[in-house]
């Protein structure tokens, strides 16, 4: 990546993360321009190491809209939201466009309720051919766990689909499973969660750990207020928190370094 493009990408995602771009030697505290809700503070649940997303970052400095395919099951479709614009893909798009008002984003919501990894994987080939995305966000695992899909079959479907996307040169984020106290007591549910993390690490793909974020928020508040009355699907606030978690993960994938009190942003 040439230095001008690299600096442009760094400045764009400093804006997304809400961090000021500074010159070498300067220090600034973290100041979020797109302020997350107090109920969505999930910094501790963000991945410490994030895989590069070169196709996505290159798209940010082109003159065309950035194309994102969000695929998965009901958590992507938005079951439990009060309106389509309260789904996590819609709220993610709103966050991105608020942070980067000069940039257009096309977020295609391809969620289908009830799907398991194998059926979503079969749709991926058509989806990426139709939309040629700069980023694929795949929410996966919950239905495989709840339906008792064998771990070997789940991992096989997940690896095959990730291999297909990587061979195409697509950038990918995985979004993991939701948390409730009931699910956290299910051994197979936890086994699928762990398998998802293991496959993501071995395939070099970043996992957005929804499970960890929701658990931390529930522990802090003493309530499971990100889940709707069916005790399965997320509500508007839950989808908002997920959108913020995905946006924060994208900011961490930037080629630049971002400001924190301990580690100020420095130009490369």
Over residues 206-254, the pLDDT tens digits come to: 999 999 988 888 887 777 878 888 888 989 989 999 999 998 888 887 7
Strand order in the sheet with 206-208: 105-111, 66-72, 135-139, 172-175, 206-208
Phi, psi of 175 (to 5 degrees): -110, 120
- Per-residue pLDDT band for 264 (boundaries 50, 70, 90) equals very low
Q: Whole-angstrom Cα distance, residue 114 to residue 144?
A: 9
Question: How many Cα atoms within 13 Å fall on the side-chain side of residue 109?
Answer: 20
- The CATH fold of domain 51-252: Rossmann fold (3.40.50)
pLDDT of residue 36: 59
pLDDT of residue 252: 80
In whole angstroms, how far apart are CA 189 and each of 28, 194, 226, 235, 236? 42, 9, 19, 21, 24
Contact status, residue 177 vs residue 183, Cβ threshold 8 Å: yes
Q: Whole-angstrom Cα distance, residue 209 to residue 212?
A: 6
Average pLDDT, rounded, for the chain: 81
Mean pLDDT of 78-96: 93
Domain boundaries, the chain: 51-252
Of 11, 46, 18, which is closest to residue 268 (Cα–Cα)?
Answer: 11
Of 121, 93, 120, 97, which is closest to residue 107 (Cα–Cα)?
Answer: 93
Phi, psi of 174 (to 5 degrees): -100, 140
Number of other residues whose CB lies within 10 A of the CB of residue 244? 24
pLDDT digits (tens, 9 = 90+) for 153-208: 999 999 999 999 999 999 999 999 999 888 889 999 999 999 999 999 999 999 99
- Per-residue pLDDT band for 37 (boundaries 50, 70, 90) equals low
Q: Does 83 or 232 have the greater pLDDT score?
A: 83
In whole angstroms, how far apart are CA 201 and each of 13, 50, 129, 159, 163? 24, 10, 26, 11, 13
pLDDT of residue 256: 52
Mean pLDDT of 58-73: 92
Whose tokens are 């309720």? That residue is 113
Q: Which residues of 196-221 are buried (b: 16+ CB within 10 A; e: fewer)?
A: bbebbeebebbbbbbbbbbbbbbeee
In whole angstroms, how far apart are CA 242 and each of 28, 73, 98, 212? 27, 15, 16, 11
- pLDDT over 80 at 45, yes or no: no
Residue 148 burial (C-beta neighbours within 10 Å; 0-12, 13-18, 19+)? exposed
Of 80, 162, 157, 167, which is closest to residue 115 (Cα–Cα)?
Answer: 157
Looking at mean pLDDT, say which of 42-56, 99-113, 195-209 comes out highest: 195-209
């Amino acid at each position: 990546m040439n230095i001008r493009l690299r600096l442009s990408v760094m400045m764009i995602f400093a804006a997304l993360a809400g961090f000021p771009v500074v010159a070498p030697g300067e220090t600034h505290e973290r100041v979020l321009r797109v302020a997350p809700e107090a109920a969505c503070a999930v910094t501790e649940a963000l991945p410490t190491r994030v895989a590069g997303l070169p196709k996505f970052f290159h798209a940010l400095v082109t003159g065309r809209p950035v194309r994102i395919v969000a695929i998965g099951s009901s958590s992507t479709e938005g079951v439990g939201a009060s309106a389509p614009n309260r789904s996590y893909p819609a709220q993610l798009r709103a966050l991105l466009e608020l942070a980067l008002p000069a940039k257009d984003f096309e977020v295609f919501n391809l969620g289908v309720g009830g799907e398991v990894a194998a059926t979503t994987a079969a749709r991926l080939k058509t989806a990426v051919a139709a939309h040629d995305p700069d980023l694929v966000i795949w929410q996966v695992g919950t239905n495989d766990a709840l339906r008792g899909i064998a771990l070997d079959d789940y991992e096989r479907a997940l690896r095959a689909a990730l291999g297909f996307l990587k061979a195409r040169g697509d950038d990918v984020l995985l979004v993991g499973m939701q948390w409730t106290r009931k699910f956290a007591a299910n051994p197979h549910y936890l086994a699928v969660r762990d398998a998802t993390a293991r496959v993501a690490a071995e395939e070099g793909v970043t996992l957005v750990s929804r499970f960890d974020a929701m658990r931390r928020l529930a522990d802090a508040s003493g309530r499971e207020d990100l889940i709707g009355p069916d005790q399965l699907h997320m509500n508007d606030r839950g989808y908002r928190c997920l959108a913020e978690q995905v946006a924060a993960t994208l900011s961490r994938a930037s080629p630049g370094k971002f400001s924190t009190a301990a580690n100020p942003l420095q130009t490369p």
